[in-house]
Structure 1
Amino acid sequence: MFKPIRRNLTILYILTFFLFLVFILVIMYFTVQKVAEREQMKEISQYMKQEKAISKAGLARLKENASGSKVQEAGHPYFYYILKPGGKLLEGEELIPGLHSEMRKLAAEGNLRSGYHEIEYNERNAMYHVEAVHAETSGTVYVVFGIETTGAHHVMQKLLVLFLLLSAVFTAILALLSYFLAGKAIVPIHVALEKQRKFVSDASHELRTPISVFYSSIELLEKEEGEHLSTFGKEVVADLKTEAKLMAEMLEDLLFLARSDQEVQQYRFEEVQLYDLCASIARRFQAGLPKNILLINNLLERPVVWGDPTRLQELIYIFLENAKQYTENGFIKLSLYRKDNFAVIEIEDSGSGIDEHDLPHIFERFYRGDKARVRDGTGLGLSIAEAITEKHRGRIEVKSKVGEGTVFKVFIPLKGEET
């Protein structure tokens, strides 16, 4: 019981810590990236002031010719290009060989826009600034000025890898820490629940004897003095007998659940032919059904499971009795078939159904919906069914609609699949 709670708490802690860690690392990464970009822009701005070729005097001397100009290799840590809107290159110096052809293409397509931009070309990176200016001799031209940022780009890539590694390392550390903290968090709950379980187990055990004596005394009174009792007296004795029997059943159910919680409930596992078990149960159950309820036997296959036949029989009876209790007129259908690696025991009824607000709680101990409060029973049957199913490494699915009926599906792993 506590393993799922600890697991869920651990997952919650890990997700909380991990999201916080990712948030911090993302902020750090983008902060460093923005600072680096600002420094690069500042560097470009400083170099632009130094370059005479793109000054007013430098642009004034430009003359457009038919063949265009050749690009020279830059002898400094920046590059520049002066282009016509159609893509013709008038002048330039470059750091990354061939980058001018990409700039000409952008200019020809009309994609050379003013402002700062980044580009990757031949596995090298650069940041550049574009400005459209008017030159007296050649009209409007684009002035492209930039620096190579390949080194800075590689540093950012390494920083990203470092952050990812840190995330993985810290997540592993956080997982261990979360598991430890989750264990500490459930200690008080575990202690309180163990005390409650012990009380329920001890109280149920101690009450069995007086309840048995009480029930036997009522039976003796009914047998010895029944003929002398008035009609009212007989009704009182009958009611006392019914309540004593119900109390005895409740104590047995509580003891079963207490032993299941403490994992001391005895189970004798063996190979079980579910078809034979269900067929036998159906024959006996049908004998006690009123005439206005039809039992439909729909045993389609012969799956074999590894389980305790006594507990599996109790499990099926719980659902059949539950269906009988809430079906006043209609049918109960018992089906058996295989699905994937499971044997499926399906109990369907045409009874009153379960309200959607009650469905999430029907396996809780003593929980009874509004309609169930007028019925007989201890309110522990479905809790016992769930405990038996979990012990067999199975699961229960339920669908219900008020006024139409309910379908319970019990999935038990086939023999060889129970691990």
Structure 2
Amino acid sequence: MRPNNESDAQVERKTSGMKAIRSISIRMMLAMSAIAILGALLLVIGVILGSRHELSERGFSPNDVTSGALFHGSLIIDSEKAIIFIILFVAGIIITTGMVAWFLSREEIRPLAQAIRLQRNFVADASHELKTPLSIISARSELIERRLRLGKPIDSLVKELTNDVSRMDNIINDLLLAARGATSPNAVNLSQAITHTIGSIDVLAKQREITIYFTPPATTVLALCEETGIERCLVAVLDNAIVHSPNHTCIEVTLHAAHDKAVVTIRDQGTGMEGNPEQWFARFARPDVQSEHHGYGLGLALTRDILSRYSGTIRVLSTSSCGTTMEITLKLAVVPNESKENNK
């Protein structure tokens, strides 16, 4: 029986820690036994060779000394040399033991350290990923409250609020699947994914009186990814664009197919990025420390991580004082030429 306040994760961490400690103890015991045996053999060999050397220096023939004489008090050893030899031998044993212990400990602790790091990343990722949906739900709730006071219908807002909760549930499931390394890419209609994303995040844009424009292409663009995953990416990039754009500006989203890639561009009218744009894709990087945005520098880093699961990319296409353009590329599920041949 475990305490009621002890979670499964805590029990698993304790179990992993105990297993690592037991494994280290067993391997250390075996290593120390091997070192002790090897050290004893080296000591005996050293004593015998040293004695033979002393016999030679004193004019005796080592071959004339029988093995019985060696072990019945006829052994000749230089005490000073013996002390030096013993000191070096003990120092060698201590150093060897320390190196073996360090190596075994590092090898055994590495999986545990990696598990702890992954757990911390998951908590940070989940906290960041749920922040925007919660902001959307909060803004939507305020609109519902305002309309109720004015006696206006709220049916559409309630439906959108239900969709927001459903998206949050999908995000949590996607985070859990990503933590297990499980992916199942399929053909996703990017026009629909972009439209859904804009519909969900538009409530945040309207608070800043920012307009998001998107005109779907004439032909359907199908990308090889997961709908929840690509919508998480689009939310992160659009949220970043909204936060860094002045009020009363526009954000333009475009979509087209180029060869075997689907290309999405998001252009804002913000003040641009300072420094090296690549640092924006590092985890917990905040190159704009003096801006009003108090994020944790995870959005774009998570976007790149998600896209890498689908062999996709994200980069800063351009940035200046007039705005920033981000580019997302994904593999097409159906290459245009193949699509034409299938229609014949």
- Structure with larger RCO (C-alpha < 8 A, sep 6+): 2
Answer with 1 or 2: which has the greater Rg: 1
Q: TM-score, normalised by structure 1?
A: 0.38
Question: Normalized per residue, which structure has more helix?
Answer: 2
Question: Normalized per residue, which structure has more strand?
Answer: 1
